Amino acid sequence: MKPVFKTLTKMIPHAFLSLAVVLLTSCGAPETSPTKKAPVRPHNGNALPTLANFNDWKTLWDGKSWIIAWKDSVGKSPTTSAIRSHIVHGILPGTLFSDNAAVALAAATHVELLTTKHASKKENISGFSVVKFSTLSPAWSQFLPAIPWHENAFGIPSLPVTKFLWSNLEKIPDAAWVEPDLQSELLDATTDTTYALPPQLSSGGVQIKRIRADVAWRDALNADGTHRYEYGKTANLNWTNVAVVDTGVDYTHPSLYDSNYDLSHIFTNPREKSNCQDNDGNGYIGDIHGIDATIEMSDWNAAMQKVCNSAADAQPIPGPADLGGAGKACPDGATHCGHGTHVSGIIAAKPGGTGAAIGVCPSCRIVSIRVASTAPDGSDDGSIDDSAQIRAVNYILGLKNENGDPYVRIVNMSLGKYFISRSLEYWFRKLLENDILVIAAAGNDDTDTINYPAGYAPVLSVCATSEPSSGGGGRGEFAKTSFSNFGSWVDICAPGFNITSTFPGGGEHQESGTSQATPFVAGAAGYLKSLDPTMSGADIAKRLTKYANAVNLYHGKDTTNDMNRLYEGWFPDGTQYYLLGTGFLDLGSAVTEGKSCWNTAAKPDECVSYVFSNNNLGYLSQLPGGCVISSLSSNAHPVANAMASMPFLMLQVGALFSLARRLRKRNQKNSNAMLEK
């Protein structure tokens, strides 16, 4: 889904990009472009965490937790005791080794062996472990006094300790790679807990109409010409399960849950029962609606047993902090699971619910997977460990029906960070290989730095657009928000400002962010899957990006107003690049494959004139309204003559040579440092 073209665009030197934007942004009357803000913190989105960039990522790390990928050795499987023994023997020099020292270090080393059955033998990986050094002082400092272990005891990541542990962990036999267990964050930009429903949203469905979901519902027909779905009425659709990897969800919300499962938009595991047993064999006891992946499977099962042994409701509900995600629904107005509940409503709020919230997908059920820890003060959603995301992916891969097919087909991840995890990249490839599509938020720092997981190749990345007179500077409803990230790695845009959706306790709430834009795309993907269960995840992603509305995103309804012209430009060979993806989400055109046109004044053969050829972000063909984009050798563009000048020609040649050098360096680095995508 991320074509080679995207790799090329992000390698273009910044000076060339800046000049290209200045010189090549005219189609009709020019208009002032929005001013880009500086990133709020240092970003290194194109890099793996290393000792060299330690200061850039240490604030995203607890200083104690590591992820180890294991090579597949014939006849050998890693065990927690063997791993702990390797760590102790690898760290303690022979001259200092003693039984007492070994016992002390073993007690300070916690090892979690994640399930290995979903790992790939063909990639020579047998499984993963999370290693956490629960305390590094005083047990360790007495053996190696030269290392400042006391810093880690206070939760301060130390470069000497990091270097010492990292190098020794990599020496463990059969360790394929070792990386720090970094932390992501939720990607909502604003939160207004005193929200009152604004007049422009009082009837609901403003964004639903903007992405043309109403057209998608109307124009999906049965063979006899009748509607497959009519709003709030009986639907001839297949149910699609969407995993919301987030903070947990208030499963009791009346706009999501119904006691009649045929009407409920909350997933209930049909193979699991509330009998304190692992009925479906996936390792989890009582995973009725999902799991809490912030805790280990053994801790989850222990919590379930405790609930089962009490008089409490035995059904686990991921989200609340009081029981670690097991046993109670979210309390009214809870911020612990507010973000996940809000995201879920955008995807699947039921027709005719209790308020203005309307879900994109009338045939989607939410599988709740909590990955966000609770902040120390209990008031907000906390950090999201890479290890929690790995547990989430393993759970999704193991949640299967009697035939061995995954229950989940779409995954929403409204979270991210600016560093690569080799382990997460590996697991996201596994999801797509199992026909599970991941959709992730681009980020909220108004930067082109790649945010992950949105930037991983198998993931569909989403940027956010504004309201007519809001964070986009009043430039129009399709303008990029002031906060949304952008770049050649972005795939598609969707509404992300002042989005009304469900909130714990049965109410509604308004939030902004790429967190909110992402579930619009996830809901659209779920609806396409409901219409045609045979569509693969890759095909769904291609359909959505192919029929995205590029005209309104980049030019607006009036093609002379330079809607988002700052985010498009040209290569020297006349090929155009785009930094907001293929366009704005258009579910109506995606469902009808272009037969339903966003422009009601257009002729039928003009309805798909804005489609990107081959889904490669290559060229826009004719734009309705008189703006034609073609090769720069044409006189169609005002700067065509300027391109022929010698200084500009020299600039083109220099940029291409610089691009070639940087690509060679990047390919060499990738071959040594990362798994082949």
Name the phi and psi angles at 643, rounded to 5.
Answer: -65, -25
Q: How far is CA 178 from CA 67, 109, 167, 355, 522, in A?
A: 6, 16, 9, 48, 32
Q: Which residues contact 354 (CB under 8 A, 6 or more apart)?
A: 254, 255, 506, 508
Strand order in the sheet with 408-413: 290-292, 364-370, 240-246, 408-413, 437-441, 459-465, 492-495
List the structure tokens of 565.
Answer: 């012209």
Pair type for strands 499-503 and 507-512: antiparallel
Query: Contact, 25 vs 642, CB < 8 A?
Result: no
> How many other CB atoms sit within 10 Å of the CB of residue 476?
20
What is the predicted pLDDT for the residue at 230? Answer: 81
What is the predicted pLDDT for the residue at 333? Answer: 53
Three-state secondary structure of 289-358: CEEECCCCHHHHHHHHHHHHCCCCCCCCCCCCCCCCCCCCCCCCCCCCCHHHHHHHHHHHCCCCCCCCCC
Residue holding tokens 């964004």? Answer: 207
> How many other CB atoms sit within 10 Å of the CB of residue 650?
10
DSSP string, 527-539: HHHHH-TT--HHH
How many CA atoms, within 13 angstroms, populate the side-chain half-sphere of residue 244?
A: 37
Positions of the chain with pLDDT lower than 50, given as ranges: 2-45, 191-204, 314-328, 470-473, 559-560, 605-606, 608-655, 658-659, 662, 665-666, 669, 671-677
What is the predicted pLDDT for the residue at 520? Answer: 97
How many CA atoms, within 13 angstroms, populate the side-chain half-sphere of residue 302?
A: 6
The residue count for the chain: 677
CA angle (557, 29, 575) in 5-degree steps = 75
pTM of this structure? 0.80
What is the predicted pLDDT for the residue at 50? Answer: 93
Burial class (CB in 10 A: 0-12, 13-18, 19+), 271: middle
Rounded Cα–Cα distance for residues 186 and 90 (Å): 37
**Which letter does DSSP use for residue 634 in this model?**
S
| Closest-CA residue to 581 (of 439, 414, 437, 418) | 439
What is the predicted pLDDT for the residue at 593? Answer: 85
- Tens digit of pLDDT for each residue in 506-562? 888 888 999 999 999 999 999 999 999 999 999 999 899 988 888 788 876 554 456
Q: Which residues contact 450 (CB under 8 A, 6 or more apart)?
A: 10, 45, 46, 418, 487, 489
**Which letter does DSSP use for residue 572 in this model?**
T
